[in-house]
């Protein structure tokens, strides 16, 4: 896709596929509303579209996308714009999803910038402030892999950041309550876009393993 016109043409192809008389999918979604059972926190990266990567149909996933697929800890509602937290609240408390997947990926630009120490713009950069959410992941990576090369450390930090987001999810009382009741499960997944593998965090082995 190189221009808005390409997108318009794409929409017309989409319309022909889904809005014919014999295709009831969107009529059903309008009449019955959305009832996704899975919420995915994914990165804004244009190469990692969760619905495409996971081969899902419209209505299957409730998706939250932000830079580096980060989940902030629960904070006071005053003094900020908490878009990710608001979407989590809607997915969990209103839609009643049964699973939350934090979907990280290899070659994440946000993590690369964090690991390299690069800063965007001046000290008031939104990106700089946002990426501080993964500072613990960076610190852990540098401690464990002090002698490793930059690519190895970046891959490790991407995975550590997923674990940090899983920890932050548990700071929301309405998530923790449902996890403890067994009505909500949290998952950490990692898409290796270089070799086309999907890995999941195994809480028993403490490793990311092929799914």
Q: What is the pLDDT of residues 91-133, one digit of tens each?
A: 999 999 999 999 999 999 999 999 988 665 556 688 988 999 9
The CATH number that applies at residue 116 is 3.40.1050.10
21 and 50, same domain (yes or no): no
Residues 162 and 187 in one domain: yes
| Band of residue 27 on the pLDDT scale cut at 50, 70, 90 | confident
Q: Which domain holds residue 141?
A: 34-210
- Whether 115 and 196 map to the same domain: the answer is yes
168 shares a domain with 68 = yes
One domain for residues 2 and 17: yes
Query: How high is the pLDDT of residue 97?
Result: 98
Mean pLDDT over the full length of the chain: 93
pTM, rounded to two decimals: 0.93
25 and 38 co-located in one domain: no
Three-state SS string over 71-103 comes to CCCCCCCCCCCCHHHHHHHHHHHHCCCCEEEEE
Q: How many domains does the chain have?
A: 2
Band of residue 60 on the pLDDT scale cut at 50, 70, 90:
very high
What is the predicted pLDDT for the residue at 120?
58
Residue 167 has pLDDT above 90, yes or no: yes
Q: 23 and 121 share a domain? A: no
Beta strands in the chain (DSSP E): 38-43, 61-66, 99-105, 185-192, 197-202, 207-210
Residues 79-112: b if buried by 16+ CB within 10 A, e if exposed: eeeeebbebbeebbeeeebeebbbbbbbbbebbb
**Residues 14, 87 within the same domain:** no
């Amino acid at each position: 896709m190189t221009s808005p016109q390409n997108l318009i043409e794409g929409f017309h192809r989409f319309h022909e596929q889904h809005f014919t008389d014999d295709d009831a999918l969107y009529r059903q979604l309008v009449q019955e509303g959305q009832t996704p059972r899975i919420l995915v926190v994914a990165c804004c990266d244009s190469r990692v579209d969760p619905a495409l990567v996971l081969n899902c149909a419209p209505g299957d996933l409730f998706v939250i996308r932000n830079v580096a697929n980060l989940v902030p800890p629960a904070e006071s509602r005053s003094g900020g714009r908490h878009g990710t937290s608001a979407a989590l609240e809607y997915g969990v408390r209103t839609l009643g999803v049964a699973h939350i997947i934090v979907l990280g990926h290899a070659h994440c630009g946000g993590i690369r910038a964090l690991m390299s120490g690069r800063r965007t713009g001046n000290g008031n950069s939104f990106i700089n402030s946002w990426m501080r959410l993964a500072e613990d992941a960076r610190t852990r990576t540098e401690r464990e892999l002090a002698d490793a090369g930059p690519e190895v450390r970046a891959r490790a930090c991407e995975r550590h950041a997923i674990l940090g987001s899983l920890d932050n999810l548990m700071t929301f009382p309405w998530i923790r309550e449902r996890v403890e009741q067994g009505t909500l499960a949290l998952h950490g997944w990692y898409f290796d876009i270089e070799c086309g593998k999907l890995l999941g965090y195994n809480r028993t082995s403490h490793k990311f393993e092929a799914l």
